[in-house]
Amino acid sequence: MQVSFGLGRANLYEQVADSLERQILDNPAALGSKLPSEQELAHGFSVSRPVVREALKLLKERRLVSVRNGEGVFVEKPDAGALASVLQRVVTMDSVDLTHVYGLRLVLEPAACALAAPRVSETDLAQLSALVAQTEAARADHAARMENDYAFHLRIAQLSGNPLIPYFLGSLRELFFALMEPAVADPKGNDRGIKNHKLIVKALATGDAGAARQAMHNHLTRCRADYAL
């Protein structure tokens, strides 16, 4: 990645980090590329290598770079984990309970399902059906059951065509599991969830956004008691 140099008056390592961040964000093609070495960056910014090291540490915390031992520092795109860590702190500090997580899903997921309906292909439907089959096969293995359930919902979010929906749902992963655990532990709740997933796939297959939205809404509202809310 080509880097331009120039600093203002803030803490030196923050200036270097902010300058590099701006250049990364302004250049999507830089994703996956290697940054100049610490020595080159230090020379370009006229700072010491320890300052560069602190700047790179800050960029790593921002999930904009990754360090590969023996290879160097590479530009990466923040994943849902970046938002998840912030969200988890907010949930803890504000004592947000799972009722609010459920409420957020009730807003987000029916909308994602409606957006996905006119976009799904036969291949997409086959993938969703396969996830339902895997969920059904793993019903006795609660950890695998929850992973498959989450994968089903995340796949629908991805099919919505809005990249922020799966990103945000990904940030809810641990809260999603906490919400789902009581439902999966109850055999009746477990069966209800699988049945509802089949109905969602059936609704998506019609290509009708309204029917798909309603199917997801029905699933979440029917499972509310199983979530022990």
User: Over the stretch 191-211, which tens digit does the pLDDT of each residue have?
Assistant: 999 999 999 999 999 999 999
> Cα(103)–Cα(10) distance, rounded to whole angstroms?
42
Q: Is there a contact between 76 and 65 (Cβ–Cβ < 8 Å)?
A: yes
> Cα(227)–Cα(186) distance, rounded to whole angstroms?
10
> Cα(186)–Cα(182) distance, rounded to whole angstroms?
6
Q: Where in the chain is the domain with CATH 1.10.10.10?
A: 12-75
Q: Which CATH number fits domain 12-75: 1.10.10.10, 3.40.50.800, 3.40.50.2300, 1.10.3210.10?
A: 1.10.10.10
In 53-200, DSSP assigns E strands to: 65-68, 72-75
Q: Which CATH number fits domain 81-222: 1.20.120.530, 1.10.600.10, 3.40.50.720, 3.60.20.10?
A: 1.20.120.530
pTM of the shown model: 0.76
Helix segments in 26-97, DSSP class H: 38-45, 49-61, 80-93
Can you give the pLDDT at residue 108?
95
What tens digit of pLDDT does each residue of 12-32 get? 899 999 999 999 999 988 889
> Cα(80)–Cα(219) distance, rounded to whole angstroms?
25
Q: Which residues of the chain have pLDDT under 70?
A: 3-10
- Listed residue (108, 219, 125) closest to 171, CA to CA: 108
Q: Is there a contact between 173 and 150 (Cβ–Cβ < 8 Å)?
A: yes
Can you give the pLDDT at residue 9?
46
Can you give the pLDDT at residue 155?
98
Q: Is there a contact between 212 and 204 (Cβ–Cβ < 8 Å)?
A: yes
- Listed residue (177, 185, 178, 191) closest to 135, CA to CA: 191
For Cα atoms 174, 176, 181, give the angle at the middle one, nearest 5 degrees. 95
Radius of gyration over every alpha carbon of the chain, rounded to an integer in angstroms: 22
> Cα(62)–Cα(219) distance, rounded to whole angstroms?
36
Q: Where in the chain is the domain with CATH 1.20.120.530?
A: 81-222
